Structure 1
Amino acid sequence: MSRIHAFCKASIAPVRAEASDRSEMVTQLLFGELVEITEVADNWLKIHSFMDGYEGWIDSKQIQDLREKEVARWLDGLVVEHSEFRIVQGPEGKQVLPKGFFRPSDSEEEFQIGKSTYRFLNEEDAKPSSLIDFALSYLNAPYLWGGKTMFGIDCSGFMQQIHRVFNYQLPRDASQQVEIGLEMDFEDREAGDLAFFISESGNIHHVGLLISKDEIIHAHGYVRIDHFGSNGITRKMDGVHSHKLHSIKRL
């Protein structure tokens, strides 16, 4: 394949030995790290890091392509951020970045990488006013099989964590969470309901939170907002139908 370059747009992205979420994590990419894509396997990409030459497989939704000129521009004057955490406003909402991420040396207020612009924010922590507001604070957190934090979370871990703050104790896995709550007809759905999704093999394999009748927040590559309908989830970024609806539950 021709040379394709990209940057890590997730705060932290796991790099795995094989093209599977269940495969061993061999390293991580931090936001802004440049890679070359060397192989494609379904939704997985084999990458070669510019920074340390390490190779492995990454979820394709956690990186974004760059043109040759954009690569050169990004590498010019690049520095490593030393602050404990920084919050940026980017194309897909707010994002918390850990120390060690990459940014241009002259970027104190905002910076651009490829076609994406990021602006630094200064915010104080505040108790979330609602379940949905708290869920939105996780936007752009990277997907990590088994994860439960801003820097790596899976779909059911996400639902468990946001409900726990409001004293709802959910089981760990989506296949367990689907067993609780009151099942709702699709026409009666409302913001705050949980939606569960079924795989081709008939297993409950995904869960998300409705933030309106037609939108859902869920962890899929990263925590994101997508379209929700009677057939399930349709990704906003490319119009792909990604998850088949099983049921809607209200706690």
Structure 2
Amino acid sequence: MGKNVGFLARIRYNYLKVHNKLRSQNMVNNSQIVLLIVAGSNGSGKSTIYENFKNTVPEYRNLPLVNPDVITYNIVKEMGFNSINQLSVTEQNIANLKAAKTALTLRKKMIREKTSFAVETTASSRSIIDLADKAKEQGYRIDLLYVTVGSPLMNIKRVHQRVIKGGHNVADADILRRYNRSLLILPELIKRTDTIYVYDNENSPEMIFFKSAEERQFFTKKKLHVDFIKKIFSESN
């Protein structure tokens, strides 16, 4: 319990560092429709970060989340299983494909109805760029919550740990491929975003960078973090 309280406190503290200032400058418009993109490689912990982030940030608290992994989980439960790992490879592929199609349909519906929502993604394909472009065309503000753990090897380790606990698996090669691909996609995505939160989740969750139209601020002095952020932003210019 104490650990979780500390987790929530860190996220809320990090958020308030920047958000109260923005609100005082009238830079936060709660009436505008918002697309919050929660991005990070497999195993980065983005689902956990997002759940705690939204519960401490009023602006994001009630956003419906379109997450293919959650949809897949529900499909598996409807099939009478507790874990996707209980399915054959063919059945897993069918469930994942159905979930991906369902997520795509939901995203299109949200944008068509101009409803604020959040999506979770590895940001490893141009589909997230297409989504951001369509949202922009409809007047959405695009916010990005990006979660990193510093190394794709750590992502692989986290996924292995998740599988031991009954979570869904992702092949090591797929994690590496998506990680490398995301480094190419991320600068393109950044060009389309209005507000960016970058969290390091290697040890305990910590906001390491924030950017809005009027402000850019580092909350870390670690060379690895600073170099990573500078790299993706230099490529987005």
- Place the TM-score, normalised by the shorter chain, in its bin: under 0.3
Larger helix percent: 2
TM-score under structure 2 length normalisation: 0.27
Q: Which has the larger radius of gyration?
A: 1
